[in-house]
Structure 1
Amino acid sequence: MTDASDNAAAASANRDWRDTVFLPKTDFPMKAGLAQKEPAILERWARIGVYDRLREQRAGRERFILHDGPPYANGDIHMGHAMNKVLKDIIVRSQTLMGKDAPYVPGWDCHGLPIEWKVEEAYRAKKQDKDSVPVDQFRAECRAYAAKWVDVQRAEFERLGVMGDWADPYLTMNYDAEATIVGELLKFAESGQLYRGAKPVMWSPVEKTALAEAEVEYEDVVSTQIDVGFEVLDCPEWPALKGAQAVIWTTTPWTIPVNQAIAYGSAFDYLVVTVAGRRVIVAEPLLPAYLKRVGEKKFDFEALIKGTIFEGATVRHPMHALGGFFAKPRPMLAGDFVTTDAGTGLVHMSPDHGEDDFLLCKSHGIDPVFAVDGGGFYRPDWPWLGGQGSVINKKFVASDGPICNDLREAGGLIAASDDFAHSYPHSWRSKAKLIQRATPQWFIPMDREISDGAPSAEGRGEVVGNGASLREVALDAIARTRWVPARAENRITAMVQGRPDWVISRQRAWGVPIALYVHRQSGEYLNDPAVNARIVDAFRSGGADAWFTADHTTLLGPDHDLADYEPVNDILDVWFDSGSTHAFTVEARYGEGVRADLYVEGSDQHRGWFQSSLLESCGTRGRAPYDAVLTHGFALDGQGRKMSKSLGNVVDPLKVIGESGADILRMWVASTDYFDDVRIGKEVLGTASDAYRKLRNTFRYLLGALDGFDKAEVVPVAALPELERYIVHRLGMLDAELREAATGFEFNRYLRLLTDFAQDDLSAFFFDIRKDSLYCDASSDPRRRAYRSVLDTLFHALVRYAAPVIPFTAEEVWQTRFPSEDGSVHFLEWPELPAMPGDAVVGTNWRDVRGLREQVTEAIEPLRREKTVRSSLEAEVTVPDLPLSADALAEAFIVAKVTKGEDIDVTRTGYHKCGRCWRHLPEVSDDGDLCGRCEKVVSHA
């Protein structure tokens, strides 16, 4: 007969003890399903008013203002928009987490050519002329078009999880905004910082308007190049030069009909040679290239002369037989911009169509003639090619086109070919070629001394506006601004140092008008503060439309006669609109003189919004509108190429959100080195998804392991075991590094620190070691209570740290543990961690243990592959050092036994396996029996 105790032992060995193990329990799913869950979370945030309640909760706290650069209200958002808005949102949320009042007011740029162009397209489709439509009707259609896209983009940005004042954004077309914009313009006028002048500006013949520098992009093109001879009429320094042809080379043949002079380099050597029967003048270094273009190898040498010989010389235009403008002799003028890099060393001058041309000719009393109209056609009364064009039409300027044919017939065309490859300016809106064209425009001067009427920055430490030029004030403001990354300062400094005067006028209909009155006789604009105040009031009541329907007699008032003044109908450059947003958003909402803590946009905005905002504020306030500027790169495809519909490589953020969820896209943004251009594609998003999944699983473990946790369980930090104290110590280090990264806007580093801690310190180390205690210790066991106490601390910290980056998931995690109808994780602040006792040994000991643990794991792996052991629990390990007790190390290494020896050595243990905790222990008499701990837990269950 079998003894009763033997029967009990046999029953124990065969018993399935899983129902006695304390496995984690949670309803938080491993599969995220973000695309389905996020819209419901968004709806809940809107219902409970998270943004508005945060403003109430943080009222009176230190404020952090990130001023939103306005996207254009035209079309669905693209990946660049998504990247920019997510980065801004992460910054705003992190500042909110750090306890600040961090409002975010989104805004839109609503005026300008792209919207006007779209409305015009609708007219063109109906065979209607936009110019025949009443201006108020046309502007109303532009306003409606912009409003439609504001609503579309608003919903798309909100879907990204961007938290802000979506109910009350700023729009440049709001009446108050338009009134402020014109008010800012009039501040420039009152301080003498406006002038109207005729000088060459970048002009779009397709769009029929001047463009700002920021609206110009360069594309590779192939153009017609021509060599043209101008016969020398007179040369006082060397009369024998008469009759020779001064040869010019150009890639813009259409400027020849507007030529008024020839420029030369005084210091250069020029050759007088005869080539194919033609006596020509060419710079010595450029003769070989000239011979190649004309298809000749031989020449007859006549003389080598210095450029100074051309002083006082005149030439005649090849089309002189037309008389009038073309019969007038052209002077030869010394130009320090002439080079011998290409061409002939002689440059034909058209003051209508080049900055150097304009300045050189102006200094000699030669003015533009405005021969080319806004559409790129020669004006009808022009004696050569009148009414013809367009000058950007390739056939018109080709080697067999009308210009070259006429020059050929007149004997002036020496060589022509349609094969010159180079970079050429285009409109970034229409993608059409641009020209430089002299037209009357309104300018803000960069180098004129700002008058005493300008606001001063005295007392703030900046250069006082009075007595300095706008360029000087702006450069000083740049030096006083924090630039992230630091190299961005050099870029914008160089741009401001070299930029020309700011062209602020456009010849379009949709925008804020340059609301000035110009005296019909003197040409001076009216500078009357009382009139200006009435203009601003009219705009505030009726928007910018009020100018086009105004009773100008009433606006001028009794002191001025409308018969003496002409209202200006040009509109403002939209960069002036967006450059003024700080005035009607930051100052209007938070107080006069308040400036933004941070501007965040793509690196192209060094020549765009960053610069227009800087110049506008420096001209009206004597300082920058921001304390810091962060610039990020562009989103490229997975191969590092610019996204293009024609290449079929566009990654649509809305599609990514619809398939994977916004939090995945946000993980990608935070994970990139966004100070440079970044890549996005299937593989890159897959990496972001993997990182997200690991972080989600960390939260899932925490939720499950803390099931039923009660504050009564909490063990004070001083009473924690060494391992728990070490993890709290590591959490404190993480906390400091995360705060530093958030303050420095280094969210690539922030996310990497967070995910590495979750994966390496917790999942692969702390959780791995303590799962035995969690599963198998009694619920009242001090060690298990200590572990769960630290898990609770970790939960409260990690969910907060993650909230700025993955706000939807953080909300889901928080609501899973602390469900509340009107609560939110986003109301929480940066965690307050328990104070650690000053035990430096804890960190040092466990750092050593972790290093040793990695070596032990590597040493066990060969035995696992050989199936000598199936898990580390079956291994006994010898190690050369024991930074902790042997039992503590066995627990840390998750092995049966640790002893000290000369080297690391691993063998299979002879101990039997506990049927409940699966540890191999000397006290277990046979496989399946229970160890003393498990026996005790089961017996008290």
Structure 2
Amino acid sequence: MSDTTTDAPDYRDTVFLPQTDFPMRAGLPQREPEWLDRWARLGIYDRLRRKEGRTPFILHDGPPYANGNLHIGHALNKVLKDFITRSQQMMGRDARYVPGWDCHGLPIEWKIEEQYRQKQKNKDEVDVVEFRQECRAFAQGWVDIQRDEFKRLGIIGKWDDPYLTMNYHAEAVIAAEFMKLLMNGALYQGSKPVMWSSVEKTALAEAEVEYHDHTSHTIWVRFGVQAPQSIWGTEKPVSVVIWTTTPWTIPQNRAVAFNPAIAYGMYQVDEAAETASAKPGELLLLADALAEGVMGSAKVTGFQRLRDVTAAEMDGVTLAHPFHGIEGGAGEWDFDVPLLPGDHVTEDAGTGFVHTAPSHGDDDYQLGLKFGLPMTYNVEPDGSYRADLPIFGGQAILTPEGAEGPANVSVIKQLAYAGALLAKGKIKHSYPHSWRSKAPLIFRNTQQWFAAIDRRLDDGMGEYGDTIRTRALTSIDKLVRWTPQTGRNRLYSMIENRPDWVLSRQRAWGVPLTCFVRKGARPDDADFLLRDQRVNDRIIEAFEKDGADVWYHADFKATMLDGVADPEAYDQVMDVLDVWFDSGSTHAFVIRDRADGSPDGIADLYLEGTDQHRGWFHSSLLQACATKGRAPYKGVLTHGFTLDEKGMKMSKSLGNTVSPADVIKEYGADILRLWVAQADYTADLRIGKEILKGTADSYRRLRNTLRFVLGNLDGFTDAERVPLKDMPELEQWVLHRLAQIDHHLRKSYDAYDFQGAFQTVFQFATVDLSAFYFDIRKDALYCDAPGSLQRRAARTVLDMLFHRLVTWLAPILPFTMEDVWLSRFPGEDDSVHLHDFPVTPADWLNEPLAQKWDGIRRARRVVTAALEIKRSDKTIGASLEAAPVVHVEDAQALAALKSVDFADICITSGLSLTGNPAPSEAFRLSDVPGVGVVFEPAEGEKCQRCWKILPDVGSHAHPGTCARCDAALG
């Protein structure tokens, strides 16, 4: 082998090297805003809506709260939504997406109050309408900021006309939806314990509560048996022992509960530590399973079990309140405390007896309802005892800042003084906190408005049940597609076990509970609530015209009741609705009422994080079941939370947060979007510098593939096209793969499996194309004559690849695919996002051919691995210097290799195929049996144009060329 003479002509200008303006470096942070401006000029979203004959697909946006810059969780959520709307659109649907914002509620109100405090301004002295207008302006400011931040992520939607829960029409519809509960019988006012924030002075819904570790006082308290004591055959005093982590609730105790299914005993204290409250000889009733633990906590060093205590023996027993007869008690607690059976009592912790304060816990409340226990009103909205409560009056359970007040310690001291405290300690446990103020909550009995979820509704919408709960459970099982399926189980369990919905909040910024109550009437009176559709219609009309602020005008009640009822006979309710009712009603004023919605008010999909099983998914389901009889969605998709690279929850205090704006500034929005596509969103997602570097590397590999396609399509026209039947097998194999991927990709996009969709295309682009097909066909593309069948077929396939790769990836990488598209089709009025996925002909599928080429690729791996060894030991510099002998034992496999130009496929200048047994020195791969490769150098001289080493080089009209290149030069 030798090179041709050095004075051979320079053929570099005759080679068809790739030509493209598509840059190797993306420059996404700088260039993406240009595409955003271009899409805005083209009106992409509205132009897509004008495509006729398409089935609507409505992804209804769960409204983010308008009170701060976006975090990485927002970006994850909105990017997933964008993947769906873009992919559904490009698969032929009319994928509508109206972004929205939650604008009412405590977080905004709290911000305005903070501003007032800084200015030493008293909120109570400000007119409520003026205050609400400040809240409205604050929310609008953040809507505008967040809208720009969302658009920067490349999210396509109706940004010029989003929905806001504070828009007048929205407020009117929210009120109308509430008044449906008024009319169908679901609404009632009740006095029951709710989770209460003493810092924010309002009730909270479960969705507004988060659980954190909290250290609480824990006490064991004696309740002395009053009567009948003689049933246990002793004249000694006997005490029932309770355990609680809320000492402050003891003044509100009205019963003690036991479980008839638990084994109880009477225990006698024999010995105790000097510091113990327990006294030798005293008798205590305890659950057997918990007795030893109680005695240990009480520092009892010796005790004995005297006898069983049966449920029958405890039936009808009365106890004395621990503060019975206490000095300064003014008789407040001088009443009998019943011992009552309750299934909620367990042996998991405590004593087997549960202190019951019906005003401060749901189990306690339910037991109180069953046995007619009195409610107490000892705790004020600010978390302090009522001023006239003996001994404890005015003491704070929680301070205005949310810290522990003196009430717990004061109660414990009084219990000790009264001789009722058996033991005390502290416990660290999970405890409810406000998700806004982060302060601990209390259960507090208040007058609130509720939606009864088990009350039969009088609304004529009973197809899926007659109560809110049955409709919700039926919807979950029969009407909704869950992604992932675990979401169904979680929400079903929550709905199955939840209490009535607390609708009212004692705040100012929200939609008021638009109802009137008769003065002097009781909540259970038939005429307590004014139910008149004429009044309802007037309210709706007024809200449509001027918004919910009109509710607070002095003459509003009289105007609404004029000619219907005496205004002086009714009180106007001034509470506002739980903001979850606002967002739960969005199906009505967004999906049902907008021209780009659907008359049935049902969305194809709701998509939010897993926390929304107790939030928006939950409230939307309950609200819709109450007012339209079924779920407002056909599908629910949930994603996980975002964590740092170590799997830690992100926190400003830890300094491990990742800002979407920072990622975009460094990498561009497409890299952030690609991070979402490469992750399994159904679990928690990690993000950080190293992960983003890996994402950027994947992006570069994909970009290089697309750049190769673009460069080798330079000047391509329809005249070059080669029909499928005339294409070489390798090209037919590529088309087969395209048909396979088209099927898989559409299936993945329909299943919202974006990781699967992207990985399918990415692996095809980097493995099947870059590392195989492109590697082989570079020679034909660069060196074949323009009219050669092989080059034309390759360019035809590249064109088909282009249209599919660019559209398939457009939902995930909208900026980059627009760049690729415009690099080839630079029309002023065009965009890749105005096109659908191309239809892929079914006859491209060719399984027999695919099986054949699977064998060819396996054999090729043996050849390339053998040549790599020769390259490593410097025997050759490139594979074109080789002409190996390939031994193939299987006759069918040998025939398959002989039917193609296997030398071209292996990128060698020559290659011999034989069925003879491979010699011992032949190179083999263990996973490709029956194929051996013996290295041989290529014979001849190096073609100065294509660099193949062939015997005929130098024997043609053009010096230093092979026959193929000589013909190409003409």
TM-score (norm 2): 0.92
2:903 is matched with which residue? 890
Matched, 1:225 2:218: yes
SS of residue in 2 equivalent to 1:593: coil
CA contact (8 A) 1:85 1:157 kept: yes
The letter for the 2-side match of 1:559 is V
Q: Aligned runs of 1:545-584 on 2, under 5 Å?
A: 545-549=549-553, 550-584=555-589
Residue 234 of structure 1 contacts residue 242 of structure 1 at CA under 8 Å; is this kept in 2? no
SS at match of 1:324: coil
2: distance between equivalents of 1:863 and 1:838? 38
Instruction: Rate the CA distance shift 1:887–1:576 in 2: closer, same or farther, 3 A.
Output: closer
Cα distance change on mapping 1:724 and 1:301 into 2, 3 Å: closer
**Partner residue in 2 for 1:256:** 250
How many angstroms apart in 1 are the aligned matches of 2:906 and 2:853?
12
Structure 2 match to 1:931: 962
Look up the equivalent residue of 1:263 and give its one-letter code.
A
Aligned-partner residue type, residue 540 of structure 1 = E
Q: Secondary structure at 1:374's aligned position in 2?
A: coil
Deviation per CA, 1:415-454, whole angstroms, max 9, x where unpaired? Answer: 222x312111111121110111111111111211122x34
Distance 1:838 1:51 in 2: 35
- Whether the aligned pair in 2 keeps the contact of 1:535 and 1:555 (CA below 8 Å) is yes
Shift, 1:241, TM fit: 6.4
Report deviation, 1:832.
Answer: 2.4
Instruction: Pick one of 904, 919, 930 that aligns with 2:948.
Output: 919
Q: Deviations over 1:169-204 (max 9, x none)?
A: 000000000000010011111111111111111111
Change (3 A) 1:217 1:500: same
**Equivalent in 121, 133, 138 of residue 114 of structure 2:** 121
Check whether the contact 1:875–1:906 (CA below 8 A) recurs between aligned residues: no
1:734 to 741, 749, 758: 741
The residue correspondences of 1:588-627 to structure 2 (distance < 5 A) are 588-589=593-594, 590-627=597-634
The 1:328–1:840 alpha-carbon spacing in structure 2 relative to 1, beyond 3 Å, is: closer
- The CA distance in 2 between the partners of 1:930 and 1:865, in whole Å, is 28
Residue 408 of structure 1 corresponds to 416
From 874, 898, 914, give the equivalent of 1:900: 914
Does the 8 A contact of 2:18 with 2:714 survive in 1? Answer: yes
Q: Which residue of 1 aligns with 2:264?
A: 269
- For the residue of structure 2 that corresponds to 1:761, the secondary structure is helix
Deviation at 1:807, TM superposition (A): 0.4
Instruction: Please list, as runs of the form range in 1=range in 2, the aligned pairs for 1:805-816 lying within 5 A after superposition.
Output: 805-816=812-823
In structure 2, what is the Cα distance between the partners aligned to 1:226 and 1:839?
Answer: 77
Q: Counterparts in 2 of 1:633-644, with a 5 A limit?
A: 633-644=640-651
CA offsets, 1:776-834, max 9 Å, x none?
Answer: 11112221111111111111111111110000011111111111222111101111235
Deviations 1:874-898 (A, max 9, x none): 2223131431337611111111222
Report the Cα offset of residue 623 of structure 1. Answer: 1.4
* Equivalent position SS for 1:904: strand
Residue in structure 1 matched with residue 924 of structure 2 by the alignment: none
Deviations 1:560-609 (A, max 9, x none): 01121111111111111001001000111134314111111111111111
Match of 1:715 among 719, 722, 725: 722
Residue in structure 2 matched with residue 4 of structure 1 by the alignment: none
Tell me which residue corresponds to 1:473. Answer: 471
Query: Using a 3 Å threshold, how does the CA distance of structure 1 residues 871 and 196 change in structure 2: closer, same or farther?
Result: same
Partner of 2:394: 387
Amino acid at match of 2:932: I
**How many Å separate the matches in 2 of 1:416 and 1:128?**
44
1:909 matched to 2:953? The reply is no
* CA displacement at 1:10 relative to structure 2: 6.5
User: TM-score normalised to the size of structure 1?
Assistant: 0.95
Give how far 1:238 is off.
Answer: 4.2
Aligned partner of 1:319 in structure 2 is 323
SS in structure 1 of the partner of residue 935 of structure 2? strand
**TM superposition shift of 1:736:** 0.8
Is the counterpart of residue 535 in structure 1 residue 539 in structure 2? yes
User: In the TM superposition, what whole-angstrom CA distance separates every residue of 1:146-191 from its partner, at most 9, and x where no partner exists?
Assistant: 1111011000000000000001000000000000001001111111
State the identity as a percent. Answer: 50
In the other structure, the counterpart of 2:920 is none
Amino acid at match of 1:906: V
State which drifts further: 705-714 or 242-251: 242-251
Structure 1 residues 241 and 692: CA distance shift in structure 2, 3 A: farther
Query: Secondary structure of 2:654's partner?
Result: coil
Quote the Cα distance in structure 2 between the aligned partners of 1:426 and 1:594: 35
Alignment-derived partner of residue 16 in structure 2: 22
Report which stretch shifted further, 266-275 or 667-676: 266-275
1:371 to 351, 372, 378: 378
Pairwise CA RMSD of aligned residues?
Answer: 1.9
Q: Is the 8 A contact 2:882 2:938 kept in 1?
A: no
Deviation at 1:925, TM superposition (A): 5.5
Structure 1 match to 2:591:
586
Q: CA deviation at 1:59?
A: 3.6
Paired residues of 1:396 and 1:403 also in contact (CA < 8 A): no
- Alignment correspondent of 2:340: 333
Measured after TM superposition, the shift of residue 340 of structure 1 is: 2.2
**SS of match in other structure, 2:268:** strand
Q: Which runs of 5+ in 2 are unaligned?
A: 270-277, 523-527, 918-930
The CA deviation at 1:835 is: 5.7
The alignment partner of 2:210 has SS state of strand
Q: Find the counterpart in structure 2 of residue 3 from structure 1.
A: none
Alpha-carbon distance between aligned partners in 1 of 2:576 and 2:774, rounded to the nearest angstrom: 65
Partner Cα separation in structure 2 for residue 300 and residue 129 of structure 1: 62
1:671-715, Cα deviation, whole Å (9 max, x unpaired): 111111111111221221111111111111111101111221111
**Cα deviation, residue 16, structure 1:** 3.0
Cα 1:435–1:768 shift into 2, 3 Å: same
Conserved in 1, the CA contact under 8 Å of 2:640 and 2:684? yes
Spell out, residue by residue over 1:840-865, the C-alpha distance to the aligned partner (whole angstroms, 9 max, x if none): 43222222111221222122221111
Q: 1:932 to 1:301 in 2, by over 3 A?
A: closer
Distance in 2, matches of 1:356 and 1:910, equals: 88
Contact 1:887 1:897 in 2 (8 A): no
Partner of 1:489: 488
Q: Which structure 1 residue ranges, 5 or more long, are not aligned?
A: 1-8, 458-462
Which residue does the alignment assign to 1:460? none
- Structure 2 CA distance for partners of 1:91 and 1:300, relative to 1, 3 Å: closer
Letter in structure 2 aligned against 1:904: G
CA contact (8 A) 2:184 2:457 kept: yes
Instruction: Identify the match of residue 193 of structure 1 among 186, 198, 204.
Output: 186
Partner of 1:6: none
- What is the rounded CA distance, in whole Å, between the counterparts of 1:311 and 1:887 in structure 2? 93
CA contact (8 A) 1:656 1:662 kept: yes
Is the CA contact 1:198–1:441 (under 8 Å) kept in the aligned structure 2? yes
User: Take 1:862 and 1:920, find their aligned partners in 2: how far apart are those partners?
Assistant: 20
What residue in structure 1 maps to residue 273 of structure 2?
Answer: none
For residues 126-145 of structure 1, the aligned pairs below 5 Å read: 126-145=119-138
For residues 862 and 507 of structure 2, what CA distance do their matches in structure 1 show? Answer: 73
Query: After alignment, is 576-585 or 684-693 more displaced?
Result: 684-693
Rounded to whole Å, the distance in 1 between the matches of 2:901 and 2:852 is: 12
> In structure 1, the residue corresponding to 2:568 is in which secondary structure?
helix
User: Distance in 1 between the 2:666 and 2:242 partners?
Assistant: 60
Looking at structure 1, the residues matched to 66 and 407 of structure 2 have their Cα atoms a distance apart, in angstroms, of 39
Q: Give the match's secondary structure for 1:64.
A: strand
Once the two structures are overlaid, the 10-residue window that deviates more, 260-269 or 879-888, is: 879-888
Task: Say how many residue pairs are matched.
Answer: 919
Query: Would the aligned equivalents of 2:735 and 2:844 in 1 still touch at CA under 8 Å?
Result: no
Q: Which residue of 1 aligns with 2:204?
A: 211
Q: In the aligned structure 2, how far is the partner of 1:394 from the partner of 1:828? A: 59
Deviates more, 1:365-374 or 1:260-269: 260-269
C-alpha distance in 1 between matches for 2:365 and 2:391: 21
1:893 maps to a residue whose letter is C
